[in-house]
Structure 1
Amino acid sequence: MPIYAFECTSCGHAFDRLQKLSDADPTQCPTCGAPDVRRQVTAPAFRLAGGGWYETDFKKDGDRKRNLAGDAAAKPETKSEPAAAPAPATPKPAATAD
């Protein structure tokens, strides 16, 4: 279950609450009893950084390191562009004004 942060807009009291997603948010401040409680937007308490859980926990000795995003810097793209269409050999006659 996630932990949600709440704040009373009347007295400024901030508190956390462990609740299900389906549970209703509290309507009254536990300190002053005012019905002015709102949910705060907070950052998660953990961060996945570094080599990753695969690198440290599940990687075998024979596995080689690979870039999952691709080797764009190492391998420049070699796209062959189609040749331009040749110009017509005979010019078209000019339109006549009748």
Structure 2
Amino acid sequence: MPTYHYRCKNCGYDFTEHQSFDDDPITVCPSCHEEQVRKVFSAVPIEFKGHGFYRTDSGSGKSSK
């Protein structure tokens, strides 16, 4: 089940929730009870493993220019 990060625009309260894809997003702050909660999106770390991700992994010594 995915974990979502939320932040209240009214009071600044940060929290995370485990929710199903089918669940509606949370809109009411559990701290101040205002309808000012929004999802916080952040970059997902990417880790490249294996061959073919670097110019030196190309197998043939020819340039494609």
TM-score (norm. length: structure 1) = 0.50
- Work out whether 1:27 is the aligned partner of 2:14: no
Does the CA-based 8 Å contact 1:5-1:42 persist in structure 2?
Answer: no
Deviation above 6 Å: which 4+ runs of structure 1?
A: none
Q: Which has the higher contact order (CA 8 A, sep 6+)?
A: 2
Instruction: Give structure 1 stretches of 5+ with no counterpart.
Output: 56-65, 78-98
Instruction: Give structure 2 stretches of 5+ with no counterpart.
Output: none
1:94 maps to none
Give the direction of change, closer, same or farther, for the CA distance of 1:70–1:14 in structure 2 (3 Å limit): same
- Structure number with greater Rg is 1
TM-score (norm. length: structure 2) = 0.70
CA-atom RMSD in angstroms: 2.6
Higher strand share: 2
Aligned pairs, number: 61
